[in-house]
Amino acid sequence: MIAPEFWSIPEGSLNVAPLTQKTATLKNRLLDITARFSDVRFATSLAAEDMVITDAISKSKANIQLFTLATGRLHQETVDMTKTTENHYGMSITKVYPEESDIQEFIDQFGMNGFYDGEVAKKACCGARKIKPLNAALLGADAWITGQRREQSTTRVELNFEELDDARSIAKFNPLFDWSEADLWAYIKEENVPIHPLHLKGYPSIGCEPCTRQVKKGEDIRAGRWWWLQSDSKECGLHLNK
């Protein structure tokens, strides 16, 4: 049997001028956000998009607090990547954990791995491990930042730079909304940004360990997320504004 060929980091690169312009625009976007809002927070998953934003925050010295959702079901590589990033940039990333009572409630109703049973259980798990912790992490903030890009999936093609997060009544920004995958990896290469180890093992998109798998070459880059569900179920609910 022939072993499958998995996704790999794109080898192409941008010319210097376009990359320089995109880098400057990204830094200006971050500085503009912090000029307009007093308490800006960035939710990082430690994957490629978020590492680009982290690098730009560090180099622009934008006043933005970083946090990550420590769901309790992350790959060990992701847990380790948090410390790698902190050490590399000399910054602190707040770890936001779910409430034990919420996790126990999910387990009592669906079982430890009940999310495999369908969309309802999957949403309940993401609600306990990601959405409620995100709500807690954003208490008191007046703006937050994500690493979403239009190119990532069909559910994000109309993504804008600035949105109103109606669910939390704060501003939400997607500074990489118009970046391509080629832009992303050209920046990472040029700026020597630390790379999540799972990107080197065929994972273009990284979430919780039981809900993320490698993606075969030619598949959609989010095909490895909740692969047992329909293609329109590739969101956990973090980015639903209402």
Give the per-residue pLDDT at 234: 53
pLDDT class for 73, splitting at 50, 70, 90?
A: very high
Give the per-residue pLDDT at 237: 52
Catalytic annotation, residues: 236
pLDDT class for 3, splitting at 50, 70, 90?
A: confident
pLDDT class for 231, splitting at 50, 70, 90?
A: low
pLDDT in tens, 127-182: 999 999 999 999 999 999 999 999 876 667 889 999 999 999 999 999 999 999 98
Of 69-83, 118-132, 155-169, least confident by mean pLDDT is 155-169
Give the per-residue pLDDT at 47: 96
Give the per-residue pLDDT at 220: 87
Give the per-residue pLDDT at 12: 62
Give the per-residue pLDDT at 241: 52
pLDDT in tens, 178-226: 999 989 999 999 999 999 999 999 999 999 999 999 999 988 888 999 9
Give the per-residue pLDDT at 67: 98
pLDDT in tens, 12-69: 666 778 899 999 999 999 999 999 999 999 999 999 999 999 999 999 999 999 999 9
For range 110-135, the mean pLDDT: 96
HEC string for the chain:
CCCCCECCCCCCCCCHHHHHHHHHHHHHHHHHHHHHCCCEEEECCCCHHHHHHHHHHHHHCCCEEEEEECCCCECHHHHHHHHHHHHHHCCCEEEECCCHHHHHHHHHHHCCCHHHHCHHHHHHHHHHHHHHHHHHHCCCCCEEECCCCHHHCHHHCCCCCEEEECCCCEEEECCCCCCCHHHHHHHHHHHCCCCCHHHHHCCCCCCEHHHECCCECCCCCCCCECCCCCHHHCCCCCCCCC
CATH level 2 (architecture), domain 16-233:
3-Layer(aba) Sandwich (3.40)
pTM: 0.92
| Domain range annotation of the chain | 16-233
Give the per-residue pLDDT at 222: 86
